[in-house]
Amino acid sequence: MHRPAPMEVTYRNMRFLVTHNPTSATLNKFLEELKKYGVLDRPFDDGSSPSNQTVDNWLSLVNIKFREEPGCCTAVRCVAGPGRTPVLVALALIEGGMKSEDAVQFVRQKRHGALTASDSYLYLEKYRSTMLLHFKDSSHRNNCSIQ
């Protein structure tokens, strides 16, 4: 199975690294790495929209992380890859001031095949920003945290 390379999405003071899911052969090492970094789990069903609680938790995490470490990189991944992870990244972009249709196009440019499910697209099209994420400009750091 072809696994796309990790992609970086950068907008203003936010940097996200979207990664693919691990293989059976790499799963144990992948889980060890996640535990080592204190990764948080934000599950929601594939092909569905995230719950309000999931969105609130995600945006709170993004808000705190990029305020504490401007320009840092946060890794995001899901089991299948093309749907849930890009939805969360697009939500952060929208909250950062990007129009929803621009956020969808921006993510699609970075990851071919992302946000093609009609449910994901409709969810983002209807989503309205409630807590714009605005951060001080800073130079990007080379560190990356896995969330």
Dihedral sign computed on CA atoms, order 87, 89, 92, 93 = negative
Q: Which residues contact 124 (CB under 8 A, 6 or more apart)?
A: 87, 90, 91, 94, 100, 103, 104, 115
Strand 14-18 and strand 7-11: the pairing is: antiparallel
pLDDT digits (tens, 9 = 90+) for 91-109: 999 998 899 999 999 988 8
Phi-psi region of 81 (alpha: psi -120 to 50; beta: other; left: phi over 0): left
Q: Which residues contact 43 (CB under 8 A, 6 or more apart)?
A: 54
Catalytic residue among 45, 72, 73, 78: 78
**pTM of the prediction?**
0.76
Dihedral sign computed on CA atoms, order 71, 12, 5, 36 = positive
CA 63 to chain CA mean position, Å: 13
E strands, 33-115, are 73-76
pLDDT digits (tens, 9 = 90+) for 45-84: 766 788 888 898 889 988 988 888 888 888 787 665 557 7
Tell me which amino acid residue 76 is.
V
Domains of the chain: 7-146 (3.90.190.10)
Strand 73-76 and strand 144-146: the pairing is: parallel
Predicted confidence (pLDDT) at residue 139 exceeds the cutoff of 70:
no
Q: Is 46 among the catalytic positions?
A: yes
Beta-bridge mates of residue 74: 16, 145
pLDDT digits (tens, 9 = 90+) for 6-43: 778 888 888 888 776 777 888 788 777 767 766 676 66
Catalytic residue among 41, 45, 46, 73: 46
